[in-house]
A and B are shown apart, each in its own frame.
Chain A
């Protein structure tokens, strides 16, 4: 049954607008369905070539100049006027379950009006997609909140609380998305009961790759506005004078833009400047002209005023990004442009707003790197520059599929026992699969056991050390702290279908012995996971007979098998399911509540990196830092790349000549590490050994190319999709061609997400007999 898409778009009043692009993409994507666009009354719809039913309807001005912070009386008036119009609209259009309302380019008063009206209707279970294209009065940058207007924030919060009421009481499905991570995180705070996602920026086209000859700087594009830095740009070009003789500056001056006359003196100044090769393009550009202009540039300036554009998006950046692969971009500091480019891990130039001299130097010296093709493989940029209509369609059908695949049925019960390691968070560690067990039919009880021997309850304390001494004769790494939960299991095992010891090195021995003694007959399936590599495992197990008591032994990597076979475990009990990685590592930014703020740390490091490429090395355990130093030192002459070593407490003997090496050994925030994967050109991971490696998993999730030692485990996790070396000459050869490395990881990155791994574990560990 086809769906009806109803676009509530009072701002759609003429063809040459953002609204036209939005509606075009919706209509194209939903061509098999019915599309209804409820527009402003002034739209001459006979001239609009869209395959949709267009209803010119709204006859009130809903977009006052001070929309972002209306005085209360105006707010109420405009909200109520809009409510009245909407009520009469829904007298004409009766909503049903197959409808999806699309609301975009809206403000707090419009959201509130829509919510109030929908609450009055009797319709249920329809869908609402909201594109939140403006800041809700608060933004979040790398986990740090900045509130520009608490009143506007509270207005949004109230309106969205009404949406929540609609969701809970009338079963309305809401999809709230934003075109920049800064807003995604902010709206997520307002809309905590659903996932806010990134949506395409609604620019008018896909990614264009072109290599113009010569050095052409597109200095200004779009309607003339003070806060778009028109004056600074003109001053800066004048300042450059003859210092960049080979550079052509192109300045778009749209003199058809309302109120453009006021900028004419600036244009006169530009025309009379001593800077050669300045071209001024006038008038409203047609789509083709606009695209050709973007394609022709080799460098783009966006010198916006951070006062107005600190947290405000700009379509120009998105259009530039479509064309800027392999080209240079310069923005003014502290603008949204700078923040967005930082977030996506771009290399770019940044200048202080108003500092013409700094801009001239930056342009002349161009020490920062062009935008790497690597960026364009990121899911963030691909989503941002994707198709808005397709995004909405996919978003809504995904929800339906989820609903269809989750029929109510009786849950099986699983007890998950794992070690509580202080350094593991929700973002790391082996327990990430647990949250996905319920959606796969398992009711999970999770018990965390602290590492050590002191917490188990014995009346006679000597028993603790007797257990320690005796059990160590079988498994050296057994932790007596798990004795209590294992004793409890002997009483309660029949409540469970599966009992899983996630750290078999530390727990599960008592239960295994109980099974050997016949105390758990007809009981649940007992699974134990072992993490240690081959040689370590052989050291840990002194008396292996207990291993056979586990129904399944879960290994992280095929390279562990050998040790267990030699310990006498039948091969059919050994099952390899890879370690997983948190969903957060796939996201462009870690969720607000899952990590501390890192705005200033990221900004400081970004400045320190000076727009150069990064080869990133993470961690300490089993890393080969001799190899790291040998390789980094071989690249001393390369001025375009830093070798970054990132590990708390890591000591490297660096000399003054090691200027291309940056060592971060005091620990960084999780967010900063997460960002580093996106900022790095590649991850260089020299290893001495290992089974599963978090750094490899995180790099795969971030789509970061991996250059690493040729180990079985690394090949297993990357599905041979890294660049592997056996000796240093090979890695030197790989890295010397940094620009030419094919950095498209061609594996399904999400196969290692905990969501996918949890399903895999259930199939192979819990339900396979």
Chain B
């Protein structure tokens, strides 16, 4: 089975940009590398990564983990998301776990039905991008969270983790945040509630 070290040591990257992006992921997260997404982009006040036809997840933590994926559904409908993910080529199938929204952005949370360990390959149905870079696009992923199978999350904690990337050190997230902007957004929103601002 492929592992993080072999992949980083032997894989053929297509460009220096990709190499740098992968290096940055490993530098920030240390234990997790996700391959198969495009650069982070912003829509309707929140950011996400388009995934292509295949997601590969390499983890250094040799424990069984559930995979949680939060996907934007404010500009791609829920059925399309599920259809692209739960296809016959995929070993991993996902169930609907939660929905939440933040400002204008809306999210569905999907949880894998079986755990992964150090490697997961997720095949996705994609469609070509109309115009622009003509990328092959499948899911607008907000966050991927790997959590040891016995982890118990309150929904508020899970949503906060998927929204901000802030989670306890037994878990891994992609993308891993290296600044506090999302946390600031979250708590600035809460302050508004506390002081009754609209």
- What residues make up the interface of A, taking CB atoms closer than 8 Å to B? 456-460, 463, 466-467, 470-471, 473-474, 483-484, 487, 490-495, 510, 513-514, 516-519, 521, 542-543, 545-546
Contacts and interface: CB of A to CB of B under 8 A. Distances in A.
Contacts of B156: 517-519
Given A491-B167, A491-B168, A517 B160 contact: yes
A575 B195 CA distance: 27
A470 B192 contact: yes
B181 A459 contact: yes
A490 B183 contact: yes
A463 B184 contact: yes
B157 A518 contact: yes
A458 B157 CA distance: 22
B179 interface: yes
B44 to A, nearest CB: 17
Given A466-B184, A491-B168, 13 more contacts: A456-B180, A458-B181, A463-B181, A467-B187, A470-B188, A474-B191, A493-B168, A495-B169, A510-B187, A513-B187, A513-B190, A516-B190, A543-B194
Given A456-B180, A474-B195, A491-B169, A466 B188 contact: yes
Contacts of A456: 180
Which 10 pairs across A and B sit closest by C-beta, in order of nearness?
A: A470-B191, A459-B179, A518-B156, A463-B184, A470-B188, A487-B180, A473-B195, A490-B166, A487-B183, A467-B184
A329 to B, nearest CB: 65
Contact of B195 (A484, A517, A543): A543
Contacts of A492: 168-169
11 contacts: A457-B178, A457-B180, A459-B179, A470-B188, A483-B184, A491-B168, A491-B169, A513-B187, A517-B190, A518-B154, A519-B156
Contacts of B184: 458, 463, 466-467, 483
Nearest to A464: B184
Contacts of B191: 470-471, 473-474, 513
Interface of B: 154, 156-157, 160, 166-169, 178-181, 183-185, 187-188, 190-192, 194-195
Contacts of A473: 191, 195
Nearest to B197: A473
Contacts of B179: 457-459
A484 B194 contact: no
A279 B89 CA distance: 118
Residue of B166, B167, B180, B192 most packed against chain A (CB within 10 A)? B180
B194 A545 contact: yes
A237 B41 CA distance: 97
A493 B169 CA distance: 10
A546 B194 CA distance: 9
Contacts of A490: 160, 166, 183
Nearest to B191: A470
Nearest to A480: B184
A467 B181 CA distance: 10
Nearest to B167: A491
Nearest to B179: A459
Contacts of A545: 194
A172 B84 CA distance: 74
A521 B157 CA distance: 9
A636 B156 CA distance: 71
A516 B184 CA distance: 16
A458 B181 CA distance: 6
A449 to B, nearest CB: 14
A471 B160 CA distance: 19
B169 A474 contact: no
A510 B183 CA distance: 10
B168 A484 contact: no
A526 to B, nearest CB: 16
A461 to B, nearest CB: 10
B26 to A, nearest CB: 18
A413 B168 CA distance: 17
A463 B187 CA distance: 11
A762 B95 CA distance: 47
A546 B185 CA distance: 18
A709 to B, nearest CB: 38
Contacts of B169: 491-492, 495
Contact of B154 (A467, A514, A521): A521
A568 to B, nearest CB: 13
A402 B89 CA distance: 69
A519 B180 contact: no
A337 B148 CA distance: 72
A547 to B, nearest CB: 12
A584 to B, nearest CB: 38
A519 B190 contact: no
Given A467-B188, A543-B195, A494 B181 contact: no
Contacts of B166: 487, 490-491
A646 B118 CA distance: 67
Contacts of B187: 467, 470-471, 510, 513-514
A62 B167 CA distance: 71
A519 B195 contact: no
B28 to A, nearest CB: 13
Nearest to A493: B168
Contacts of A487: 166, 180, 183
Nearest to A495: B169
Contacts of A494: 168
A754 B166 CA distance: 36
A528 B94 CA distance: 43
B168 to A, nearest CB: 6
B45 to A, nearest CB: 12
A162 to B, nearest CB: 47
Nearest to A521: B154
Contacts of A470: 187-188, 191-192
B180 A483 contact: yes
Nearest to B194: A543
A495 B170 CA distance: 11
A57 B181 CA distance: 80
A463 B177 CA distance: 15
Contacts of B194: 474, 513, 543, 545-546
B54 to A, nearest CB: 29
A471 B194 CA distance: 10
B74 to A, nearest CB: 22
Residue of A458, A483, A517 most packed against chain B (CB within 10 A)? A517
Contacts of B178: 457
Contact of B181 (A460, A510, A516): A460
A593 to B, nearest CB: 37
B160 A519 contact: yes
A457 B157 CA distance: 23
B81 to A, nearest CB: 27
A493 B185 CA distance: 21
Contacts of A466: 184, 188
A467 B168 CA distance: 23
A333 B181 CA distance: 67
B180 A463 contact: yes
A344 B183 CA distance: 57
Contacts of B195: 473-474, 542-543
A458 B178 CA distance: 9
A84 to B, nearest CB: 63
B98 to A, nearest CB: 15
A148 to B, nearest CB: 58
Contacts of A518: 154, 156-157
A490 B166 CA distance: 7
A146 to B, nearest CB: 53
B155 to A, nearest CB: 9
Contacts of A513: 187, 190-191, 194
Contacts of B167: 491
Contact of A484 (B160, B180, B190): B180
Residue of B179, B184, B190, B195 most packed against chain A (CB within 10 A)? B184
